[in-house]
Every structure is written in C-alpha cells, then in structure tokens.
C-alpha cells in the first residue's frame, strides 16, 4: 500500500485537484485507491459522492470529521486491500505538524502556483519538510508539482528558475486547463475523460506517475504497519 501526501499550507494551490486526479488515475488502472480528506472544506469527499455506480470505485474517508462514538484510529482505518492512500491535507497546516502529517508517507507532493506569494510559501514548505519533518533529499520522497501553468510567461519562467534551485525534483508541470473543472463537476478525473478531449492533460501526468512508481517498499514502525497520520486531531 503506497501512501501519498499532498501538502501545501497555502490554500488555493491545487492540492485537492492533484489528490482527486491521482485517485481517478489509479481507479482507471483497476487499482483500489483511498482518498483521505483532512480538509474541512470536504471537496474530495463531495467529488467522490458525485461518482456514478458505473465508474471505478474510490474509497473516501472524511478525516476532517470527528466522531466521539469511535476511536480516531478506527475512523481512519483503510481497507486491507487498498493499493494507494492519497492524503488531501488542509490549508494552514503548521510546520510543527509536518512530522505527523508525513509519517509513513512514501511520497510527498507539493503543488505550487506561478506567483511570488506561492513561490515564497513553497520555499518555506520545502525547508520545513527537510528541517522539521527530517525528510532527506536523497530519499527522493518530496516532489514539486508546478500547477496551473501557462508556458512562455514571465511568471512561469520565474517559477521554474526558483524550483531548480531547491534541489527537489519537479515531477510534473500541469497546464492551466478547464478540463480539470469540467471533470470535477462530474466526479471524474482527467484520465477518465474521453481521450481526444484530455490527451494533452493526461500526457502531463506521465512523469508524475513514473516518479510515484519509484516509491520504496512500505516502512513498518516498531509498533506494526503504517497508520494514518492524524492531522488537526
């Protein structure tokens, strides 16, 4: 079971778009993904509820909800046959929570938009992942996704120059496309759209998927198999 955390403390960076489209991709590949929605807005949860019975199933866990009738560990349990757990983290996660948020994560995706504010936030996020969460660069667990990109613009060029200074791989460059909004309205991902409509978008996900496939074997703690991180508990 691969655990993928989508993280950026700044709202509006496209975390949910990345998370739901990853889930849609794995579902389209006959895998058994689980979306764990820690964002109080519940956007990933609503997206899954829009899916039709004829579509490939995606398990969703409303991790932002608290249920006093059960333990937190029970609420966050995932089916044993799940192949991927995709964590949609909330905005404004404090850096002190990073060790818990990223615990047992095989891969951590940091989406960033081409703006000065987003570049600054991305820089701080990478720094805190390295220094606070103690993620080592050589483990190849952190990847940056340049999101909502319009090529041949000054902001895009500035973003790419900045990302190249981080020593962290740019695992995907995703264009600013209306296909993501259209797909989300119907509870699908771009990989589940008609190929002639979303071909260019799908192609941009190929390096990201290849990077995720390089994930190491799941690590077990001294107390047993990986357990879901509890964000904001």
pLDDT tens by residue, 10-28: 888 999 999 999 999 999 9
107 found inside a domain = yes
Instruction: Summarize the confidence of residues 173-190 as an average pLDDT.
Output: 95
| Residue 105 pLDDT greater than 90, yes or no | yes
| Residue 221 pLDDT greater than 50, yes or no | no
Confidence of residue 191 (pLDDT cuts 50, 70, 90): very high
The first and second tokens of residue 190, run together, are: 């771009």
Q: Looking at residue 151, what is its pLDDT?
A: 79
139 found inside a domain = yes
Domain count, the chain: 1
Q: Considering the chain, what is the average pLDDT of its residues?
A: 88
Q: Which of 121, 107, 97 is nearest to 8 (CA)?
A: 121
Residue pair 160/172 in contact (Cβ under 8 Å)? The answer is no
224 found inside a domain = no
233 found inside a domain = no
| Residue 226 pLDDT greater than 60, yes or no | no
Q: Looking at residue 224, what is its pLDDT?
A: 42
pLDDT tens by residue, 58-91: 999 999 988 777 787 878 889 899 999 999 999 8
Instruction: Summarize the confidence of residues 112-120 as an average pLDDT.
Output: 88
Give the sign of the dihedral formed by CA 39, CA 42, CA 43, CA 45: positive
The CATH number of whichever domain residue 36 belongs to comes to: 3.40.50.300
The parent domain of residue 106 ranges over: 2-212
Q: Which of 34, 9, 32 is nearest to 19 (CA)?
A: 34
């Amino acid at each position: 079971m691969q655990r993928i955390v989508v993280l950026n403390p700044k709202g509006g960076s496209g975390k949910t778009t990345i998370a739901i489209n990853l889930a849609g991709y794995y579902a389209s590949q006959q895998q058994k993904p689980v979306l764990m929605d820690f964002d109080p807005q519940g956007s990933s949860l609503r997206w899954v509820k829009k899916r039709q019975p004829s579509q490939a199933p995606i398990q969703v866990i409303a991790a932002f909800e608290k249920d006093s009738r059960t333990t937190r560990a029970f609420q966050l349990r995932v089916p044993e046959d799940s192949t991927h757990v995709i964590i949609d983290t909330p905005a404004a996660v404090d850096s002190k929570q990073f060790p818990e948020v990223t615990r047992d994560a095989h891969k951590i995706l940091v989406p960033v938009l081409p703006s000065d504010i987003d570049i600054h936030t991305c820089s701080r996020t990478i720094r805190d992942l390295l220094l606070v969460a103690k993620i080592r660069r050589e483990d190849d667990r952190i990847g940056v996704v340049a999101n909502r990109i319009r090529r041949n613009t000054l902001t895009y060029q500035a973003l790419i120059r900045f990302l190249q200074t981080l020593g962290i791989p740019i695992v995907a460059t995703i264009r600013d496309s209306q296909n993501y909004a259209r797909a989300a309205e119907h509870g699908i991902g771009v990989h589940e759209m008609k190929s002639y409509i979303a071909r260019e978008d799908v192609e941009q996900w190929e390096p990201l998927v290849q990077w995720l496939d390089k994930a190491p074997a799941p690590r077990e703690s001294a107390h047993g198999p990986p357990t879901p991180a509890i964000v904001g508990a």
